Amino acid sequence: MKVLTVVTHPRENSFTFAVTARFVQGLRDAGHEAEVLDLHRIGFNPVLWEADEPDWSDPKKLYSPEVEAEISRMKEHDALAYIFPVWWYGVPAMLKGYIDRVWNQGFAYGGGSKLHHKQVLWLALAGASEDHFAKRSYDQMLSHSLNVGISNYSGIENSRVEFFYDTLEAIPEHMEGLLERAYQLGLHYADLKG
């Protein structure tokens, strides 16, 4: 399988990038082709301007060159993975802007369009504990948004959110356990079910 792995974090030396490296290593060890798209390093602009605003009267609208290039990139892959820190109980603005601009009308939805990807995995790195997220159902809220509101709406039936909790703990055993989990998710990516 060809898997596009999109990562978003302003710092390359972040734990988000460490998780990405281990996940991609697992993908490659399982025989998948993996491309990593680093939204910050390519200078992706998350702000939606008129050129990329959906035109409900024209499902075949051509978008800005930046967005058309990312749509072409997505079309080259069979499956997707997104790795990001959870900020304010949601995805970072960079990733939200990428989805707003690239998962656009006429490509991801609308006019009979749906994404062709077999599956998507969302790896959400949370600084807080699992209990903290469960207390107010933040985990369910984000999972529903990503699995149903975005993935399913765009035609991807197999969508799964995996939370990596307590990423600010900096306890070596815990952090290594999360990295091993990232590797295993990559290694068994083809077997994941939403």
Domains defined for the chain, CATH in brackets:
2-191 (3.40.50.360)
Could you tell me if residue 88 is left (phi over 0), alpha (psi between -120 and 50 degrees) or otherwise beta? Answer: left
Provide the pLDDT confidence category of residue 17 given band limits of 50, 70 and 90.
Answer: very high
Mean pLDDT on 96-125: 95
| Mean of pLDDT over the chain | 96
Q: So what's the pLDDT on residue 111? A: 81
Judge whether 40 and 10 are in contact, CB under 8 Å: yes
| Cβ neighbours for 31, distance < 8 A, ≥ 6 positions apart | none
Please determine, for residue 56, whether its predicted confidence score (pLDDT) is greater than 90. Answer: no
Q: So what's the pLDDT on residue 38? A: 98
Q: So what's the pLDDT on residue 46? A: 97
Provide the pLDDT confidence category of residue 58 given band limits of 50, 70 and 90.
Answer: confident
Please determine, for residue 160, whether its predicted confidence score (pLDDT) is greater than 90. Answer: yes
Please determine, for residue 112, whether its predicted confidence score (pLDDT) is greater than 90. Answer: no
Q: So what's the pLDDT on residue 119? A: 97
DSSP string, 138-185: HHHHHHHIIIIIIIGGGT--EEEEEEE--TTS--HHHHHHHHHHHHHH
Mean pLDDT on 165-186: 95
Please determine, for residue 194, whether its predicted confidence score (pLDDT) is greater than 80. Answer: no
Q: Higher pLDDT residue, 58 or 186?
A: 186
Q: So what's the pLDDT on residue 22? A: 98
Judge whether 163 and 124 are in contact, CB under 8 Å: yes
